[in-house]
Amino acid sequence: MVGIFASLFALHGLGVQPGDPTLSGAALMGTLLVVTLVAMAASGLTAVAMERIAYRPLRRRGAPRLAALITAIGVSLFLQELFAARYGRDELGFPRVLEKRQLLEIAGANVRSDKVLVVVAALLLMVALDRFVNRSRLGRGIRATAQDAETAALMGVDINRVVMLTFLLGGLLAGAAGTLYGVFFEAARYNIGFLPGIKAFTAAVLGGIGNIRGALVGGLSLGLLENWGSTVLGGEWKDVFAFSVLVLVLLFRPTGLLGESLGKARA
Amino acid sequence: MLLELSDVHVHYGQVEALKGVSLDVDQGEIVTLIGGNGAGKTTTLKTISGLRPVTRGSIRFEGAELVGVPAHRLVAMGISQAPEGRGIFPGMSVMENLEMGAYTRAGDKAAFARNLDRVFELFPRLAERRRQPGGTLSGGEQQMVAIGRALMADPRLLLLDEPSMGLAPKLVAQIFAIVEEINRQGTTVLLVEQNAAQALRRADRAYVLETGRVVKTAAADELLDDETVKAAYLGGDVGSAS
């Protein structure tokens, strides 16, 4: 939500208004890049600020993990209401940046330019994140902290810094997602991030919590299931169908789809 | 004096876990802390490592005060720990676990290679298993990783928390022999052990901890013959494990 608002403001800042002709070529690339970077920065900084204000005191007092989850919901509502108070509860138009052109048709399916953008950007970010967490030294610090924070500290990992960095990473990615969401759906509202947030969590559980590749598989599966469900049962059943599948999967695989191969995948 | 604790008090909430512990470790020694469950052995190590806040007292390492220094700074100062329960990162391979031991010295490739050689020489098994995830190793192998990982930082003081826990007697003897070898190579060792018989046979000096206090200290071989120690911690049979 912060990401999508930041992209919106960045677009206004660049002088792009709803109803303007769409951009193309270098102007399009430049605008997309600037808007995405602004959104990533805004969202990343918000995440870091929230970690400082709302999460670090909890860690210092040794609060249970459940407290962090409840804080997450609280922070989400706080940010939503803050934006609702400032910008109202109505939908704000998001200018059309990218012309939605049909690029090609594969077996009766339309391949549209904005969809290609979303898929390519998501894949690039996923690969970058996976490489960072699995290959870099800081990524190793993040994994060590997740697996055993106290021992990680004994190895010389500054836990507070690692947690802050993790929030920053999450915020950066959420910011990029916000821009993509805006470009795709062309609308922004104070609570636009809530359902995607819940679904992101669902995707992570579905794929196996703590496993980045699992989250990728989980997200893709959830999206495909939703859309298949809404085609077969009708659009209003989309969420019912997806969440029923989640419950079923967890009944038979409580660790999520890739949960068990966690150790193997990282070896 | 390499390490010196004087009158260290630690609280868990209202409960006082350490009630004024004083002890010292000299350069080149193996010093062991023995005592029953809840005596405060693990708390003492965690406190030295900065994982538990000190309410009163002082901890000095090479003359520098450690109280108030955050845990993640200690590795760079020369203190490494193989923690209670081994603390293996289960989702990381043996190699990655060892790399974590050298986390603060990531830039120094030559030191890394030298320390890795040393670890693989002490624990050839780890070289064979370097790609295996830590979570799938046996207890003995995990203990090797824990000690090897601590050595990757090339510490001047090695803190070992119950390396014999849950291991078969043969493995226990092997681990202790390696601890002696590490000490011979120049690393000072502070060893916490439930297995008092084994620990006393390998150590130079020992402290006996009871309910958060040092109740006795002497040369290790003296304590092996001490009647009260025999009755309380050696179970009358010096040869048996634990």
Which of B91, B104, B132 is the closest to A156 by Cβ? Answer: B104
**B-chain residue closest to A156, CA distance:** B72
Contacts of A153 in chain B (CB under 8 A): 50-51, 70-72
Q: Give whichever of A180-184, A202-206, B30-34, B218-222 has the largest mean pLDDT.
A: B30-34
Q: pLDDT band at residue B106, thresholds of 50, 70 and 90?
A: confident
Strands of chain A (E only): list them. Answer: 92-93, 102-106, 109-112, 187-188
pLDDT over threshold 50, residue B242: no
* pTM score, whole prediction: 0.86
Q: pLDDT band at residue B37, thresholds of 50, 70 and 90?
A: confident
Number of residue pairs across A and B with CB atoms under 8 Å?
Answer: 84
Percentage above 70 pLDDT, chain A: 94
Contacts of B101 in chain A (CB under 8 A): 155
Query: Bigger pLDDT: A236 or A153?
Result: A153
ipTM of the complex: 0.90
Nearest CA distance, B238 vs chain A (angstrom): 33
pLDDT of A198-229, one tens digit each?
888 888 888 887 778 888 888 888 888 888 88
pLDDT of A6-17, one tens digit each?
888 888 777 776
Cβ <8 Å between B103 and A264? no
Residues of B with CB under 8 A from a CB of A: 49-51, 70-76, 80-81, 83, 87-93, 96, 99-101, 103-104, 106, 131-136, 149, 153
